[in-house]
């Protein structure tokens, strides 16, 4: 990998305190557990120099710019607790700045999540996964994608996500890949279930492409 996975690149103002906003963590934790079992989120010695990968988020409440996101480098933890999540209080993707609170720091991809939420108030959940199958079959799957020269967790990535939405490419697909971020995939939806379904469906289609190649 050209860049170290999991490094926070944005300017972070973080308040080390428990999240004091009412939020039920049961659903987000359940879907994260499924993603971990599918190795879409996690930490593996043979992948990315054993650095944790993937994260999941949900708006604090409908219409709010604030969102709950899994903490940086929590991929090795099979089941998270509220202490492993952060609240993004304010995000300024074009200024490369984030304000958050929680007992751990927010994920390195938080700016990308913020950029997705900013495009449509109907979006309530975002999952950033790592799927070699989906990523390498981006073209065959006809998936929208950001360019290979745009790195994760940067102002350029936030702007690229914005352009994808403005282009209309995401009107038919709630799944896109980050070609400048090895195996990086983003799924979103009006519920966590919808976002997860986009991700799992994309994985099934990608595996189908690979199996067709083997069986020819």
Q: Tally the domains of the chain.
A: 1
Q: Are 135 and 204 in contact (CB under 8 A)?
A: no
Residue 1 in any domain: the answer is no
Residue 76 in any domain: the answer is yes
pLDDT band at 5 (very low <50, low <70, confident <90, very high): very low
- Taking CB atoms within 8 Å and a gap of at least 24, the contacts of 209-212 are 209/137, 209/140, 209/141, 210/133, 210/137
**Helices 155-167 and 110-119: angle between axes, nearest 10 degrees:** 30
> What does the alpha-carbon distance between residue 20 and residue 93 come to, in Å, rounded to a whole number?
24
Choose the weakest-confidence range: 8-17, 52-61, 114-123, 207-216: 207-216
Full residue range of the structural domain in which residue 100 is found: 11-215
Task: Find the distance separating the first CA and the last CA of the chain, reported in whole Å.
Answer: 31
> What pLDDT does 132 receive?
96
Residue 66 in any domain: the answer is yes
Q: Are 129 and 199 in contact (CB under 8 A)?
A: yes
DSSP per residue, 15-33: EES---S----HHHHHHHH
> What pLDDT does 3 receive?
44
> What pLDDT does 7 receive?
57
> What pLDDT does 214 receive?
67
24 pLDDT above the threshold of 50: yes
Residue 5 in any domain: the answer is no
Q: Mind listing the pLDDT tens digit for each residue in 146-200? A: 999 998 878 888 889 999 999 999 988 899 999 999 999 999 999 999 999 999 9
Q: Higher model confidence: residue 214 or residue 152?
A: 152
47 pLDDT above the threshold of 80: yes
% of the chain beyond a pLDDT of 90: 72
Residue 183 in any domain: the answer is yes
Torsion from C-alpha of 159, 101, 177, 75, nearest 10 degrees? 150
> What pLDDT does 116 receive?
95
H or E stretch including 91?
strand 85-92
pTM of the entire predicted model = 0.92
pLDDT band at 34 (very low <50, low <70, confident <90, very high): very high
Q: Higher model confidence: residue 155 or residue 115?
A: 115
- Taking CB atoms within 8 Å and a gap of at least 24, the contacts of 80-87 are 80/25, 80/29, 80/32, 81/25, 82/18, 82/19, 82/25, 83/18, 85/19, 85/25, 85/28, 86/14, 86/19, 86/110, 87/19, 87/21, 87/60
CATH number, domain containing residue 130: 3.40.225.10
């Amino acid at each position: 990998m050209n860049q170290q996975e999991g490094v926070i690149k944005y300017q972070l103002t973080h308040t080390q305190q428990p999240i004091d906003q009412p939020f039920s963590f049961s659903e987000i934790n359940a879907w994260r557990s499924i993603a971990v079992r599918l190795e879409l989120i996690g930490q593996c010695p043979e992948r990315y120099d054993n650095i944790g990968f993937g994260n999941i988020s949900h708006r604090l409440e409908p219409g709010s710019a604030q969102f709950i996101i899994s903490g940086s480098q929590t991929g090795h933890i099979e089941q998270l607790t509220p202490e492993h999540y952060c609240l993004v209080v304010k995000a300024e993707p074009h200024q490369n700045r984030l304000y958050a609170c929680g007992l751990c720091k927010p994920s390195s991809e938080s700016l990308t999540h913020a950029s997705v939420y900013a495009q449509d108030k109907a979006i309530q959940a975002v999952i950033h996964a790592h799927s070699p199958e989906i990523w390498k079959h981006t073209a065959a799957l006809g998936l929208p994608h950001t360019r290979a020269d745009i790195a994760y967790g940067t102002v350029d990535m936030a702007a690229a996500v914005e352009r994808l939405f403005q282009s209309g490419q995401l009107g038919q697909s709630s799944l896109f890949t980050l070609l400048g971020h090895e195996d990086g995939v983003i799924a979103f939806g009006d519920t966590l279930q919808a976002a997860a379904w986009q991700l799992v469906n994309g994985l099934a289609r990608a595996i189908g492409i690979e199996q067709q190649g083997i069986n020819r």
